Structures are given as C-alpha cells and as structure tokens.
C-alpha cells in the first residue's frame, strides 16, 4: 500500500520514547511499535501504512516534533482526480466565490 519512496523518519535523539508513544498509539494500522530491547520506536509493518499522517501530527501536537513522513503529500492537499465522460484528464477549475 505504501509507495517505496515514502520514509518514516524518527529523530531518536529527541524522541522521549516510552514516556510518550503518541505516534504508536495514534496509528490505526499498527505500523509502529515500541522495541523494549532497543528502547526506541520502530517501524514493524511498513506496508500497512495508509499515509494518514496521524503519527506525525501526534508527535507535533505533543510538542516533540521529532517524527516525520518524508516523500508523501498530505491527502487533503491532493486535488481529487477528475475525468471527462471519455475517461480523459480534465483541468481542475477552482470554485468561483460570489
Ligand atoms: S501515516 Fe498513519 S498508518 Fe502510517 S504509520 Fe502513521 S499513523 Fe500509521
Ligand atoms: S510521538 Fe514523537 S516523541 Fe513520542 S514516541 Fe513518537 S516519535 Fe517519540
């Protein structure tokens, strides 16, 4: 499900680990886990990632901001694909405000 160009990057020097785990708890697909031996957050299920950014937002909201997803565009900023009646691409026209 995940584009191979996409990377989950955690700055482990700044991560407060087991005292937080907001990123792990926010993930709906159990992509992340706390590794007790390594004492760090690890990616265990990369292919299940939905690129929903819940993990990155959780880290930022908690004020730590040491977690980021690289190579992905937030879904809300991606224009919906539009096609004409023959299935061809069509120019996206912004809405006119009145
Ligand atoms: S982007 Fe979503 S699915 Fe992927 S690791 Fe983060 S919370 Fe989980
Ligand atoms: S949310 Fe950020 S600070 Fe908290 S465990 Fe995850 S990466 Fe570390």
Q: Residue 42's beta-bridge partner residues?
A: 33
- Residue ranges lining ligand 1, Cβ < 6 Å: 26-29, 31-32, 49-55, 69
- For 10-56, write each residue's pLDDT tens digit: 999 999 999 999 999 999 999 999 999 999 999 999 999 999 999 99
- For 73-85, write each residue's pLDDT tens digit: 765 544 455 555 5
* Phi/psi at 34 (5° precision): -95, 120
Reference 32, options 75, 50, 14, 19; nearest CA is 50
Q: Give the H or E element holding residue 25.
A: helix 22-26
Domain locations along the chain: 7-77
Q: Tokens for 16? A: 């407060």
pTM above 0.85, yes or no: no
Q: Tokens for 92? A: 């996206």
Between the CA of 28 and the centroid of ligand 2 the distance, in Å, is 16
Quote the pLDDT of residue 98: 53
CATH 3.80.30.20, applies to 7-77:
no
- 55-59 mean pLDDT: 97
Q: Tokens for 10? A: 């955690």
């Amino acid at each position: 499900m995940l584009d191979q160009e996409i990377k989950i990057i955690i700055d482990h020097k700044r991560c407060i680990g087991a005292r937080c785990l907001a990123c792990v708890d926010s993930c709906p697909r159990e992509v992340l886990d706390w590794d007790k031996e390594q004492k760090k957050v690890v990616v265990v299920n990369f292919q299940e990632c939905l690129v929903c950014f819940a993990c990155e937002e959780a880290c930022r909201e908690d004020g730590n901001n040491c977690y980021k997803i690289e190579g992905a565009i937030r879904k809300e900023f991606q224009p919906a694909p539009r096609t004409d009646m023959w299935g061809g691409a069509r120019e996206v026209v912004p809405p006119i405000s009145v």
